[in-house]
Structure 1
Amino acid sequence: MDSEQDITIKNWDGTWTYHPRVKARPESVEDLVEIVTDPVRFPSPVRPAGSMHSTARMNGDDEGGTMVDMTAMNRILHFTDDTVTVEAGVTHGDLAKALKARGLQPYITTEIGNTTLAAFACAATKDSSFPGEYGQVSSYVVGIRYVDPNGEIKEITEANDPQEMQLFRTSYGMFGLIFEVTIKVRPTQALEVRHYGLSIDEFRKFLPVYKARGHAVMYYIYPYARRVVVELRKQHPDRKPTSRLRWQYRNKFWKQWAPAVATWIDTNIKSKKWRTKAHDTFFYVQRQLMVRLMRYNHSWPHAQIITYPRKPKVFYLFSMWSFRETDFFDILERYCDFCIAYEKGTGFRCNLPSVGYVISRDCEALFSYTWEGPGMSIDPASTGGREWEEFLHAYNDFCSEHGGTPLFNQTPFLTREMARHSFGARLQKFAAARAERDPKERFLDQHFRDLLS
């Protein structure tokens, strides 16, 4: 296997910088065993890495340790009628293409195509839930093979050990190096999509109707206008999917065009008054385009996946907290107040719309953000920068104070106190399970040591 010594590597957006003593790129299970069992050549902590698309710190300590790049193990191994088994480094986008060719689709077609299946298996994801289904990809992972801290090859399945699977689904690589994942799939269903522009009060009124009619609900939040654009999705197993063109334009818009326009406004309009007017106008145009143009009757669900470049010229960055559905609309009103007050006090505003998802209750993973009941999220978005990171610190305080639940991999700048406040006894349960399985802390870096201690 390839390896490098004492290198510097950044995550995809440059927020986090790592300086591993060794970066290894295994190509086989035997390579993984060699890494785990040789702490001299491959010093602790040993942390796996995939596309490095997480917005939070995931892949090791500031100095030292071993980063294990899993992307060379990227074979799709075999299919059954309702599952597929893949190696750890297979990306969501590549798997979706292979499934589409066989008339299949994932249960959760989340948007980021760069994410690897090993990350899906042991980290949090986000998407709106269809009635009776989950919103996290890991909930549909039914089997895992991994190398444990002793270098032994282990296997767990949902059928044989559901409690261990519950722990693994949000273990973030702290139980071992996952090299094989089995996930449930299903026949492809045509997707109907509609967008509606609403006030917050209208959204509060119509949400029960949307859910009763069998829609999955995503939404774009425009806090400075106190409005939302609701995206309603409905599956049609009796229809044949035929369209994908509008998804392609939509993906290009959010991946490139919208961040580019927002960046241009911030860079070239020096007057705060006119810069604010320009952003408000661009937000208005966004809402009109979605409502008027983004309508599909029988689209391919695979087409909504966005694959981002490794070193993009412009960024679409986000953070995520989830809130109980019963409290959400009052919190959404306060979030708008928070954003407006923060801009008034600091001059900074998020230059992309916030997004959010309606997510069913899910207890399949220990750190599920809808453990206590159905939830709705608020995900601020921006093109990044120092002021954006300062905003996220304040936003984390706001969410923690309002009973929110974070995602360890998609909520940057969390503190130990926030983790304790959100997860309580679940954090203690996981910390004890981790210490039992890896007492020598082979896979534990300083970031998670701080959060779990």
Structure 2
Amino acid sequence: MDIQQDVTIKSWDGTWTYHPRVKVTPESVEDIIEIVTDTVRFPTPVRPAGSMHSTARMNGDDQGGTMVDMKAMNRILHFTDDTVTVEAGVSYIQLAQALRERGLQPHVTTEIGNTTLAAMACAATKDSSFPGGFGQISSYVTAVRFVTPQGEIRELTEADNPKDLQIFRSSYGLFGIIFQVTLKVRPTTALSVRHYSLSLENFRKFFPVYKARGYAVMYYIFPYAKRVVVELRKDNPEAAPKSKYRWAYRNRFWRKYAPAVVIWIDKNIKNQKWHDRAQDAFFYLLRQAMVWFVRSERSWPHAQIINYPRNPGETKYLFSMWSFREGSFFDILEEYCDFCIAYEAHTGFRCNLPSVGYAICRDVEALFSYTWEGPGMSIDPASTGGPEWEEFLHAYNDFCAERGGTPLFNQTPFLTRDMVRRAFGTRLQQFAARRKEADPQGRFLDNYFREFLS
């Protein structure tokens, strides 16, 4: 295994910088056991890392500790008719491509394809839910194999350890280092996709109709225009999947061109009035393009998954997610638009990319599910980053916490202990007790989670 001393590691977009005393890349489970049990060569805390695509600072302490880069363990091991078993470092886009060759697909085709399967198995992910399904990838994990804090190999399965697996799906590497994941899959089915541009009032009006007709609902929020573009997806088993190029153009646009355009506007148009008009005009064209261009009756579901570059430079797409109960969401959405407009009037800052949101069904498969108490809908502001964006997120966190929102540990930066306790309540206490029982010496516990769980 490759071992490096006193290195500097940045997250995928350069937002967060880490300085582990040791960075190690294991190639086998024996390597992981050696890392966990040798506390001298591999100092505490020991924290696993994949693509480092989390928007929160959760890949280790500021100084010291051991970062375990799992990307070298990236083999797809075996398939059945409805499952696939992979090593920890397999990326989601790598998995989707292998499944497509066999006429299979994941149950959730989340957009961020760089994330590794081990991270998805024990952390929060997001996508709109299909009827009877879940929006989180970890909810479809049926088994994990991992190395415990004591250096032992253990396996949890949905059949034999349902309660333990429920906790492990939200464990964020605090219970063990995963080296193998088994995930439910299903036969490939063509996807029908449509986009509609709506006012907030019409979105509120038509959402129950979309839900009743069995659509998975994603939406792009344009708070300064008080409009949304609704993305409706539905399985189309009557057609063979064919279309993929529209998704390829769309993915390239969100990965590169949309951030490039808004960065150009920010840099070159200094007059606030004309800056906002230019951005509004771009967003108007963007809404029309989505409605008229990104549509198909027989799309490949795998084509939605985006391969983000490891070092995107300025053209990065940052976000922060909170989920709200479906029953109160539309009032909160209107308040969110007013909040963004008022924040710009007060500070001069506006988010330079559309916000995003997902309709997610109730999910109790993972302990820290953001729809534990019932169906939810999210609001995810997005931006190309910068100090003003980070200041906005602090205000946005307060806005969401005051309205009973639920954050994601890995995709909601700048959380406070009070916000986390208000959101998760007794589930946080339950998790903290089980974590201390499993890892009494705190071998995997870093400062980020220590603050929340103490």
TM-score normalised by structure 2 residue count: 0.99
Query: How many Å apart are 1:306 and its aligned residue?
Result: 0.4
Query: How many Å apart are 1:451 and its aligned residue?
Result: 1.1
Q: Which amino acid aligns with 1:327?
A: S
**Whole-angstrom distance in 1 between the partners of 2:411 and 2:52:** 11
Q: Which residue of 2 aligns with 1:167?
A: 167
Q: Which residue of 2 aligns with 1:390?
A: 391
Q: Which amino acid aligns with 2:121?
A: A
Q: Which residue of 1 aligns with 2:406?
A: 405
Q: Which amino acid aligns with 1:378?
A: I
**Whole-angstrom distance in 2 between the partners of 1:175 and 1:244:** 39
Q: Which amino acid aligns with 1:34?
A: E
Q: Which residue of 1 aligns with 2:234?
A: 234
Q: Which residue of 1 aligns with 2:361?
A: 360
Which sections of structure 1, spanning at least 5 residues, go unmatched? none
**Whole-angstrom distance in 1 between the partners of 2:430 and 2:201:** 40
Query: How many Å apart are 1:243 and its aligned residue?
Result: 0.8
Query: How many Å apart are 1:202 and its aligned residue?
Result: 0.3
Q: Which residue of 1 aligns with 2:128?
A: 128
Aligned residues: 453
Q: Which amino acid aligns with 1:265?
A: I
Q: Which amino acid aligns with 1:285?
A: L
Matched ranges for 1:175-186 at <5 A: 175-186=175-186
Q: Secondary structure at the match of 1:47?
A: strand
**Whole-angstrom distance in 2 between the partners of 1:48 and 1:38:** 16
Q: Secondary structure at the match of 1:179?
A: strand
Matched ranges for 1:19-34 at <5 A: 19-34=19-34
Matched ranges for 1:276-291 at <5 A: 276-291=276-291
Q: Which residue of 1 aligns with 2:206?
A: 206
Q: Which amino acid aligns with 1:424?
A: G
Q: Which residue of 2 aligns with 1:41?
A: 41
Q: Which amino acid aligns with 1:22?
A: V
Query: How many Å apart are 1:237 and its aligned residue?
Result: 2.2
Runs of 4+ in 1 over 4 A off after TM superposition: none
Aligned partners of 2:122 and 2:169 also within 8 Å: yes
Q: Which residue of 2 aligns with 1:273?
A: 273
Q: Secondary structure at the match of 1:262?
A: helix
**Whole-angstrom distance in 2 between the partners of 1:354 and 1:435:** 38
Aligned partners of 2:236 and 2:297 also within 8 Å: no
Q: Secondary structure at the match of 2:221?
A: strand
Aligned partners of 1:188 and 1:237 also within 8 Å: no
Q: Which residue of 1 aligns with 2:255?
A: 255
Percent identical across equivalent pairs?
A: 74
Q: Which residue of 2 aligns with 1:430?
A: 431
Aligned partners of 1:144 and 1:178 also within 8 Å: yes
Query: How many Å apart are 1:238 and its aligned residue?
Result: 2.8
Higher deviation after alignment, 7-16 or 19-28: 7-16
Aligned partners of 1:56 and 1:412 also within 8 Å: yes
Q: Which residue of 2 aligns with 1:374?
A: 375
Aligned partners of 1:149 and 1:437 also within 8 Å: yes
**Cα-to-partner distance string for 1:202-239 (whole Å, 9 max, x where unaligned):** 01110111011110000000000000000000002232
Aligned partners of 1:244 and 1:303 also within 8 Å: yes
Q: Which amino acid aligns with 2:198?
A: L
Q: Which amino acid aligns with 1:102?
A: R
Aligned partners of 2:343 and 2:349 also within 8 Å: yes
Q: Secondary structure at the match of 2:182?
A: strand
**Whole-angstrom distance in 1 between the partners of 2:249 and 2:452:** 40
Higher deviation after alignment, 122-131 or 9-18: 9-18
Q: Secondary structure at the match of 2:195?
A: strand
**Whole-angstrom distance in 1 between the partners of 2:233 and 2:91:** 24
**Whole-angstrom distance in 2 between the partners of 1:307 and 1:263:** 21
**Cα-to-partner distance string for 1:81-109 (whole Å, 9 max, x where unaligned):** 10000000000000000000000000001
**Whole-angstrom distance in 1 between the partners of 2:442 and 2:238:** 51
Query: How many Å apart are 1:175 and its aligned residue?
Result: 0.1
2:319 is aligned with 1:318: yes
Q: Secondary structure at the match of 1:71?
A: coil
Aligned partners of 2:4 and 2:24 also within 8 Å: yes
Q: Which amino acid aligns with 1:246?
A: R
**Cα-to-partner distance string for 1:230-261 (whole Å, 9 max, x where unaligned):** 00000022321011010011001100010000
**Whole-angstrom distance in 1 between the partners of 2:311 and 2:36:** 30
**Whole-angstrom distance in 2 between the partners of 1:390 and 1:108:** 32
